[in-house]
Structure 1
Amino acid sequence: GVDAGSYAPARPIAGSLAALLPYLAAAVCTLGILYNVLAGRSVDQVVLLTAGAVVLALLVRQGIMLLDNMALTEKLAENENHFRSLVQGSSDVIMIAAPNGRLKYVSDASEGVYGLFPEELVGRELAGLIHPEDLPAVLHELRRFLAAGPPADPTTRIEYRFRSGDGGWLNVESTVNRHQGGLILNSRDVTERVRLQAQLQHSAEHDALTDLPNRALFTRRVGQALSGRRQSDQGTAVLFIDLDGFKAVNDTIGHQAGDELLVQAARRLQEAVRQGDTAARLGGDEFAALILGGGVSDRTAREGHILELADRLRVRLSQPYEIDGNDVRVAASIGVAFAEPGLGAGELLRNADLAMYRAKAAGKDRVELYAPQMQQDVVRRAEVAARLRTALHEGEFTLLHQPMVSLADGRITALSAQARWRSAQGALFTPAEFLRAAEEGDRTAELGRWVLEEAVVQAADRSRAGLRTPVAVRIAARRLLDRSLPLTSIEALLTRHGLAPGSLMIELTGLDPRIPLDDLERRLTALRRLGVRFALDGFGTGYGSITALRRLPVEALKLDRSLVEGVVESARLHKITSGLLRIAADLGMQTVAEGVDLPDQAGVLRAMGCTHGMGGAFSAPLDEYRVRRLLVDGHCPAPA
């Protein structure tokens, strides 16, 4: 058991002697009188009066003490009855553990929570009721708590698994207080909360359709494999897989058939890799596999082994898929890249990606091994990055806005700012191209500042024209923490252009475990005081969802496009999206579905409780002139 020691203070000796002095005085007087009487001497009248007064005082004192004791006894009984009524009326289980660790009191709530009567628990050791895997951590925390003393740490909180009446384990959270050298535990069942947290964690790290690890989890596992790789373990490789012809399946026989094909392909991939390897869906029709090395030192042998495995996988994925009684065929292009000394997870994935694109360019349905000459695409992006340096200063960028629309009535509630680039030579670069080039060419900060400032300027101009509508700007979480975007610059920007509080919403992207959440939470709280609102972008995927819901002051959730694309055709995806929307509703948050391109999607999302949507079903991104015309009406036609 856990020995708390004794906190009951010893009664001071001086206080005890002071309480005895009146009795000692009376005894001395009485003995003096008896001595004089027995010796035949006369007793002085003053002595008799004094002795009588002392005895009378003692009798009065005893009477007062008796009355006080009766009052204290009555008050103690009243307090005890009050305590019992509180305990019996509480849904929490109150347990008192003696210094030896045995339970000496358990409230009646234990029957409803644990499935055990109080009599079944009283007398048992608390340690024997805690799951063996949790016991060391619980004992460590309780010893620390007791050693700290009441002034430093009045209470503590512990979570553990507690033995239930049916022999199983319940997840329990207890608030712990000290009590006469032992402990009082105020405990509640949190099994449902723990289950929901585990479900959310699983959803954040796994693909909603196939239940394979998603890109975030796959990248983390690649990083772990590389950091733990031994010098002799040189066979670790990444396979990047793309299904050729998948788009035609979606276009010809529908998205539901496409989803079923992806599920079957994921199952084949999972069956093909060994236990300990990782199969993942990265998005769309792209899959990946992490093949851990087997200690093969011969480069030719290991390359041959992995390429043979990749080719078997290509053949397996290219075999017909039976969907609704029909044989559906796609092919697979696979890129292979091996781990090398000094190579990070991102670089290894990039190499496998380049090899896969080489396989597609070479005719598809084949396997390609990464080679350094595949860097031509990197060179192309470097050229784009070089042109990007001058494009920002020469006015080649423009800002478009896409309406966010209330699914209930078609009212435009906000505008999403999106950058577009048309070079002086007339070439139109897609956001995917220039954003990737900006990131690799270290121009992300400059481009982000331009988008933010331009969005604020245009929103302020519209507001002055009587068309006040909030504007949403997508910003990576790490950008809010670096020096390129200090708090003072955002405050100065809002003040300089007179943008009203609540008119700027920042959509947070790129949350990952490396971001210091304490710093980010402080920064968002400071910005919120300036009237800036926050939405979580890509809700339902990645690390950010759970973390942001738990820590960050977000007020809107933006559903990831992958949850919207197949929500009509896929019953599985429908259930997942519906569950996420219920969580958002319970938290009192607005929800925005991105990529609502079809009327059916808008109808289904509206029925599931999604509050807002944006996409081709309502409006494409618009220039400033068309945006103002649309805002005059204030509505987008709501899809039927």
Structure 2
Amino acid sequence: MLLDNITLTQERAQKENHFRSLVQGSSDVIMIAAPSGILRYVSPAAAGVYGRPAEELVGTELAGLIHPEDLGRVVHEVRRFLAASPVEEPTTRIECRFRSGDGGGWLNVESTVNRHHGGLIFNSRDVTERVRLQAQLQHNAEHDPLTDLPNRALFTRRVQQALSGRRASDRGAALRGTAVLFIDLDGFKGVNDTIGHQAGDELLVQAARRLQDAVRKGDTASRLGGDEFAALITGDGVRDRDARERHILELANRLRATLSQPYLIDGNDVRVNASIGVAFAEPGLGAGELLRNADLAMYRAKAAGKGRVELYKPQMQQDVVRRAELATRLRAALHHGEFALLHQPVVCLADGRITSVCAQARWRSSQGVLFTPEEFLRVAEGGEKTAELGRWVLEEAVEQAAERHATGLPVPVAVRLSAHRLLDRSLPLGSVEALLTRHGLPSGSLVVELADTDPRVSLDELERRLAVLKRLGVRIALDGFGSGPAAITALRRLPVDVLKLDRSLVDGVVESARLHKITSGLLRIASDLGMQSVAGGVDLPEQVAVLRAMGCTHGQGKAFSGALDEYRLRRALAAGHYPVPSSPAEPVFVGGGSGVYSTGVTAVLQAGTALRSHNETPVPPT
């Protein structure tokens, strides 16, 4: 018996020595805690992992090593584990933060926990680097790599959280004043196209910084993709709906102004505008629907002129359905011959001669519905449909002009093109030359109306393109003259032959003395430069008389004729001219300032030939 006891004691001592050598040689920290939570044993690896020697930790409370924010969770898990069956659950795993060294640093530690005589054995390892990498991967998955703002997925989740509220009783307050702002940078594509994608990326980073600085700490700014951003403004519980809307709209307008300020990129000021749509949370509305509503409002802001703020209204959804249907029809309309090309005469104000015609597309669908240019051009804007429609108008206008010329009606045709369209690679200048050659249209018979002078467009490249067109015998007209400083810059740089007054000048030229003086000054500029001047939108006989007296050389509008189909156009060209009144006496404005012309114009019109307004030619069903 004694020998058996000695042998058993020796075997136990060997096992303990073997276990101790394993524990002391392990890189993991082994800790044994008594039922009271006091550490009874700590392996030497603690010095390397926790930055404190094992002897210093023995006798201290385990709870003192655990981060206060994690302690409750750890205690709950330990109690659950001790209450469970040892057979069914021999071990558990706990991950928490442990104190590192004597300072305030913390390590992420993962521990395998076993029972030991009523207490616990912790086999712990440092997983801080793994947790950091996981956190970085999670951050990357939820944030935009360029701006580091939350991406669409994280933004949508936060919107849903804001709509839900922590408790059902919170939801009413959470909804009040909660809104989503959907933001699009107008003209950003032009920045990429003209000064490069690197500059575009820098602009996006600066815009993101401005957006982040503009929202409150509890709100969320996000980059959804491309040049689209969003902001979640959480509710403040204010019950007055008008006050909530006013506050959010004021914030949106401040944000629009901030994002529209110049961006300093490579030493140059680069400008874009911001269109913002605002949608408020409503009971029963999900995150996806709220984002969709804000998106719809943003597109309404862009359609209304860009650089503005629009509040969502239910009618916008119906408009989107109509535009989607319209876009679907538009894809097939050109191929099915549903478009017609009308021409509006441009008349010499001195003698009424028709000196050119302006090509205008009209669309009557196969269902007999006539769409205005404003409708279908807005649907086509910015996509492949715009380029296809533009090519069709140009080719059809040149072909029809050549046919008229061949039959003894040699009148030039004007085709309206945007600066972006002129610089588009889908319209190579060689194709214009080939088009003119193929149809035999003589030099000077095609006029390109430059429809806009976007300041984001490279004037150097545009000047080169227009110079090539001039060498082909194409004349250049600058549309919208007088609408802003960009037109003056374009006039100084571009090889322009004709100045076309902006319609806003023509609309009020009879009533406003101030506008009369401005228009007179612009017409003198055209005269001094030896250019023709054309007033568009001349719909009233009084406007004809006044513009002629001011020195305008040509007019276009319903005072002479609307847009005509080919048959009516040929009849008008065969007649050759429209009647115009004699020049009026010196204008006298009511009240000595802005107002209306006195009887001077009326007397002239009564004494001269009466002018009739001609309605636009109806487009026959196809």
Paired residue secondary structure (1:140): helix
The alpha carbon displacement at 1:377 in A equals: 5.0
Any unmatched runs of 5+ in structure 2?
330-366, 368-378, 384-622
The percent of aligned pairs where both chains have the same amino acid is 83
Equivalent residues in 2 for 1:270-419 (5 A)?
Answer: 270-376=212-318, 378-380=320-322
Quick one: distance in 2 between partners of 1:296 and 1:96? 56
Is it true that 1:88 corresponds to 2:24 in the alignment? yes
Q: Which residue matches 1:191?
A: 128
The corresponding residue for 1:263 is 205
Write the deviation string for residues 187-244 of structure 1: whole angstroms up to 9, x where unpaired. Answer: 0001111111111121111111111111111111111222226435522211110001
User: What letter corresponds to residue 304 of structure 2 in structure 1?
Assistant: A
Alignment match, 1:231: 172
User: Does residue 1:244 correspond to 2:186, yes or no?
Assistant: yes
Q: Distance in 2 between matches of 1:108 and 1:384?
A: 76
> Aligned AA for 2:194?
T
Per-residue CA shift, 1:464-486, capped at 9, x if unaligned?
xxxxxxxxxxxxxxxxxxxxxxx
1:89 shift after superposition: 2.0
Deviations 1:512-558 (A, max 9, x none): xxxxxxxxxxxxxxxxxxxxxxxxxxxxxxxxxxxxxxxxxxxxxxx
Q: 1-side partners of 2:78 and 2:230: how far apart?
A: 46
Cα offset, 1:126, TM superposition = 1.0
Superposition deviation, residue 108 in structure 1:
1.0
Question: Aligned partners of 1:382 and 1:359: how far apart in 2?
Answer: 18
User: Which entry has the higher C-alpha Rg, 1 or 2?
Assistant: 2
**Offset of 1:275 from its aligned partner?**
2.1
What does residue 132 of structure 1 align with? 68
Match of 1:159 among 85, 95, 108: 95
Corresponding residue for 1:180?
A: 117
**What's the CA shift for 1:380?**
4.5
User: How far off its partner does 1:352 sit?
Assistant: 0.7
1:113 is aligned to 2:49: yes
Q: Report the residue type matching 1:100 in the other structure.
A: S
Letter in 1 for 2:84: A
Deviation of 1:378 after TM superposition, in Å, equals 4.1
- 1:125 Cα deviation after fit: 1.3
SS at match of 1:295: coil
Cα distance in 1 for partners of 2:188, 2:180 equals 22
Looking at structure 2, the residues matched to 308 and 100 of structure 1 have their Cα atoms a distance apart, in angstroms, of: 60
Asked if 1:202 is matched to 2:139, the reply is: yes
State how far apart, in whole Å, the 1-side matches of 2:233 and 2:77 are: 40
Aligned residue for 1:5? Answer: none
2-structure distance, mates of 1:384, 1:141: 61
Tell me the CA shift for residue 381 of structure 1.
Answer: 8.0
1:362-390 superposed Cα distances (whole Å, 9 cap, x missing partner): 11111111112212454248759999xxx
Structure 2 CA distance for partners of 1:346 and 1:91, relative to 1, 3 Å: same
What secondary structure, in the 3-state scheme, does the structure 1 residue paired with 2:125 have? strand
**What CA deviation, in whole Å up to 9, does each residue of 1:589-626 have, x standing for no partner?**
xxxxxxxxxxxxxxxxxxxxxxxxxxxxxxxxxxxxxx
SS in 1 for 2:36: coil
The answer to whether 1:220 aligns with 2:162 is no
Q: What is the match of residue 85 of structure 2?
A: 149
Which residue in 2 is equivalent to 1:630? none
Which residue of the partner structure matches residue 473 of structure 2? none
Distance 2:252 2:206 in 1: 18
Describe the superposition over 1:78-118 as per-residue Cα deviations: whole angstroms up to 9, x where unpaired.
11121122112211011111222211111111111111111
* Deviations 1:423-470 (CA, angstroms, capped at 9, x unpaired): xx9xxx99xx9xxxxxxxxxxxxxxxxxxxxxxxxxxxxxxxxxxxxx
- The answer to whether 1:76 aligns with 2:24 is no
Task: Give the Å deviation of 1:351.
Answer: 0.8
Partner of 1:14: none
Tell whether 2:63 aligns with 1:122. no
For 2:68, what is the secondary structure of its paired residue?
A: coil
After superposition, what is the alpha-carbon deviation per residue over 1:326-346, rounded to whole angstroms, capped at 9, x for unaligned? 111111111111122222211
Q: In 2, Cα distance between the equivalents of 1:276 and 1:291?
A: 8
Question: What is the deviation of 1:304?
Answer: 2.3
C-alpha distance in 1 between matches for 2:229 and 2:197: 18
**Closer/same/farther in 2, CA of residues 385 and 126 from structure 1, 3 Å limit:** farther
Partner of 1:420: none
Which structure 2 residues correspond to residues 435-514 of structure 1 after superposition, within 5 A? none
For 1:225 and 1:140, the matched residues in 2 are separated by 30
Deviations 1:248-304 (A, max 9, x none): 111222211111111110111111112211111111100011112333333333222
What SS is found at the alignment partner of 1:293? coil
- Structure-2 separation of matches of 1:79 and 1:269: 66
SS state at 1:80 partner = helix
- Superposed displacement of residue 153, structure 1: 0.9
SS of match in other structure, 2:132: helix
State how far apart, in whole Å, the 1-side matches of 2:124 and 2:176 are. 51
In structure 2, what residue type is equivalent to 1:334?
A: I
Q: Say which SS state the counterpart of residue 242 (structure 1) adopts.
A: strand
Superposed CA offset, 1:564-588 (max 9, x none): xxxxxxxxxxxxxxxxxxxxxxxxx
**Alignment RMSD (CA, Å):** 2.5
Q: Distance in 2 between matches of 1:242 and 1:122?
A: 61
Residues 257/382 of structure 1: CA separation in 2 closer, same or farther (3 Å cut):
closer
Amino acid at match of 1:145: F
- What SS does structure 1 have at the residue aligned with 2:176? coil
